[in-house]
Amino acid sequence: MFDTLPLEDRALSIFVVSAVMLGLAIITVAMRCFVRLYLVRAFGWDDGLMLLALALFIALTVLCMLGPLAGIGHEMKDFKSLTSLEHALLVWWLGQMLYLWASAVSKVAIALALLRLAVKRRYRIILWTIIGVVIAIGLVFWLVLLFDCQPVSYFWERVTLFKKGKCLSTDVLLSIAYLYSSITIVCDFSLGILPACLIWGLQMTHRTKAALAGILSLGAIASVAVVIRLPYLKHYADREFLYSTYQIAIWSIMETGLAIIAGSLITLRPLFRWFLDGSSSYRRRRRSGPSGGKYALSNLTANASKPGSHEPRYWRPDVGEESTNVVVTSVSAQMGQGEGDNSSQEDLNPTQASRHKNQVSVHKTFVVSDSEHY
């Protein structure tokens, strides 16, 4: 077991940010799973990927909370032995490996969620391009960092004099890091702008469009953390590496955590309706069917008058005039999308049929007669 260092100054900042972001991410993803599994009942690939991103983020934040105890955020003079310094470098190396995948998976999950709303081909092409670029740059940068040193263990063992190996120059790593961050910013801002384009053609008020675009664009809030982190990348080349890069650690955690949190918040609209309407009434509406209400029954009996819209023969012209003991029972309901629908799209892409809210559907018609032949 390595020697632990006190949680103070920069080390304490890393620990607190990691703990707070971990708690918020777990809460929001748990609410997302509740909505998708219980309320909407449409758990999709994006939800599964967000759970994977959360698992990677949990591992990352645990390392980032252990890292300050191991020495991340401390100066070289604070370490009591070379073994403790090796452990601190090892934790940093593992953390950057997990960060790349947690960040990439969370952004792919956001893009897949937006694909549900993308009807036009050009928007789907853009989203699939973003997914491909995020995966590609994440994989390339991960391989660069993985094989930064030869052998791989030389990254944290280089503080020991008798260990032999070599690492890439810091200038090369900085160039790749700047390229990765720049492409990430472009992808994140694209994920923020695209929702406004997706809902622009929908039939709703401008106020509703603006609010909905704002909610869906939350998934790009992680780009703010990437922009803030950009000026601190130069500290990779500092001699006091673990001490001077604490801002990189903090904003990397913020970037991934905000992506997971914002990507989960955009799925919580049904949860707000569930709270406003009450959980028991919501469940009753789900059991009662898509319309969420009762079916209207209507009994019509025959008479000698001329058939009109309220006469049985209006609905059953095959009934003869001699049939007087006739009862026509019709069951009708208001059609349209109800709150219990299983749509993952939240009716953001309404079809032509769903635009007509007030329609009548005759579900069953019965004819009761004293005749043996109906």
The 3-class secondary structure across 208-249, one letter per residue, is: HHHHHHHHHHHHHCHHHHHHHHHHHHHHHHCCCHHHHCHHHH
Q: Using an 8 Å Cβ cutoff, are 227 and 187 in contact?
A: no
Question: What is the rounded end-to-end Cα distance, in angstroms, of the chain?
Answer: 89
Could you state, in order of their start, the residue ranges of all structural domains in the chain?
9-276, 288-368
> What pLDDT, on a 0 to 100 scale, did the predictor assign at position 336?
43
pLDDT at 364: 47
Q: What is the pLDDT along the chain (374 residues), one digit of tens a residue?
A: 557 888 888 999 999 999 999 999 999 999 999 988 888 888 888 899 999 999 999 999 999 999 898 889 888 888 888 888 888 899 999 999 999 999 999 999 999 988 887 878 888 999 999 999 999 999 999 999 999 899 998 998 888 778 888 888 888 889 999 999 999 999 988 888 887 777 776 666 777 667 767 776 776 778 888 889 989 988 888 888 889 888 999 999 999 999 999 888 888 777 777 776 665 455 555 555 444 444 444 444 545 444 454 555 555 555 555 555 555 555 554 444 444 443 344 444 444 444 444 444 454 445 455 554 44
Which distant-in-sequence residues (6+ apart) come within 8 Å of 238 by Cβ?
A: 244, 245
Q: How far apart are CA 84 and CA 78, in angstroms?
A: 10
Q: How many Cα atoms are found within 13 Å in the side-chain-facing hemisphere of 126?
A: 20
Q: Which of 333, 319, 296 is CA-nearest to residue 367?
A: 319
CA distances from 329 to 297, 307, 358, 366 (A): 7, 16, 20, 5
What pLDDT is stored for residue 325 in this prediction? 55
DSSP 8-class letter at 268: -
Q: Shortest CA distance to 142 belongs to which of 104, 172, 183?
A: 104
Yes or no: say if 224 and 264 are a contact pair by the CB < 8 Å rule. no
Task: Using DSSP, state whether 94 is helix, strand or coil.
Answer: helix
Beta strand 149-150 pairing with 166-167: antiparallel
Sort 71 into a burial class: Cβ within 10 Å, 0-12 / 13-18 / 19+: buried
- Tell me the whole-structure pTM to 2 decimals: 0.72
CA angle at 72 for the pair 68 and 73, rounded to the nearest 5° = 95
What whole-number distance in Å separates Cα of residue 260 and Cα of residue 31?
Answer: 12
Q: What is the pLDDT of residue 322?
A: 56
328 has which bridge partners?
300, 367
Residue type, position 185, single letter: I
What residues have CB less than 8 Å from 121, skipping those under 6 apart? none
- What does the pLDDT read at residue 315? 55
pLDDT at 28: 93
Q: What is the DSSP annotation of 1-65? A: -PPP----HHHHHHHHHHHHHHHHHHHHHHHHHHIIIIIS----HHHHHHHHHHHHHHHHHHHHH
Decide if 145 contacts 180 (C-beta within 8 A): no
Could you tell me if 115 and 131 are in contact, meaning their C-beta atoms sit under 8 angstroms apart? Answer: no
- Residue (of 282, 299, 295, 287) closest to 335 by Cα position: 295
